[in-house]
Amino acid sequence: MMASDKYVSSKSFQENATSHHFSIMTPCLAEPCKNGGMCKPNYGDGNYEYVCNLTDGWKKFNLSCYKFFNVKTKWDKAKQHCSDLGSILVTIHSLEENQFVASLAPTNTTIWIGASDTVLEGTWVWLDGENWGGYANWGGSNPNNSRGKENCALTVNGKWNDVDCNLSRTYVCKTKN
């Protein structure tokens, strides 16, 4: 050992018969991540980062993970399937997120999104509870409720449309993390 490797202090350590053990609790102990994702703890602020299980088809964008399901089903069934996976039917809150969701499916594929006006006609709400007043990308004159029962939203090539919830469409699930 070299002299420069030694720690020099003006205070000396004193022996004490009592010892204390400290540990840092990981926020990942409660297994907050769904869909087989991994939890990456951040000990600085006690939070965690969700790491997608990319081998299972999930793709990460910002702080959430997304998965396209190329199976056509009704809006309620798509919503339930996402919930069963610990996620939600995709909600979209920015131009960048809208472009990302559109990139998950082949061109001209209709995809259910997690927006509806089933509670009150004309009042659109997101499944995640986020404020509707932010980003929207309705195509043409939509939403227009043209058939009198168009209460669920879908996207095709990034443009949104209100349609009958009983149609069968593909869908994207999004993690809540």
pLDDT tens digits, 13-54: 455 566 655 555 555 555 555 555 656 655 555 555 556 666
Would you place residue 133 in the very low, low, confident or very high pLDDT band (cuts 50, 70, 90)? confident
Give the single-character DSSP code of 165: T
3-class DSSP state of 50: strand
Of 59-63, 148-152, 165-169, the poorest mean pLDDT is in 59-63
pLDDT: which is higher, 164 or 18: 164
Judge contact between 151 and 172, C-beta under 8 A: no
In the block, residue with structure tokens 């309705």: 138
Residue 36: Cβ within 10 Å count: 13
Pure H helices in the chain: 75-84, 95-103
* Separation between Cα atoms, residue 8 and residue 36, nearest integer Å: 49
46-105: pLDDT as tens digits = 555 556 666 688 998 988 899 999 999 999 999 999 999 989 999 999 999 999 999 999
Query: And the tokens for 86?
Result: 């610990």
- Residue 27 preceded by cis peptide, ω within 30: no
Would you place residue 157 in the very low, low, confident or very high pLDDT band (cuts 50, 70, 90)? very high
Which pLDDT does position 144 carry in this prediction? 97
Global pTM? 0.73
Judge contact between 88 and 130, C-beta under 8 A: no
* Separation between Cα atoms, residue 177 and residue 173, nearest integer Å: 12
Judge contact between 175 and 56, C-beta under 8 A: no
Query: And the tokens for 69?
Result: 């399901």
Would you mind telling me the total number of residues written for the chain in this entry? 177
Query: And the tokens for 22?
Result: 């400290």
Judge contact between 90 and 174, C-beta under 8 A: yes
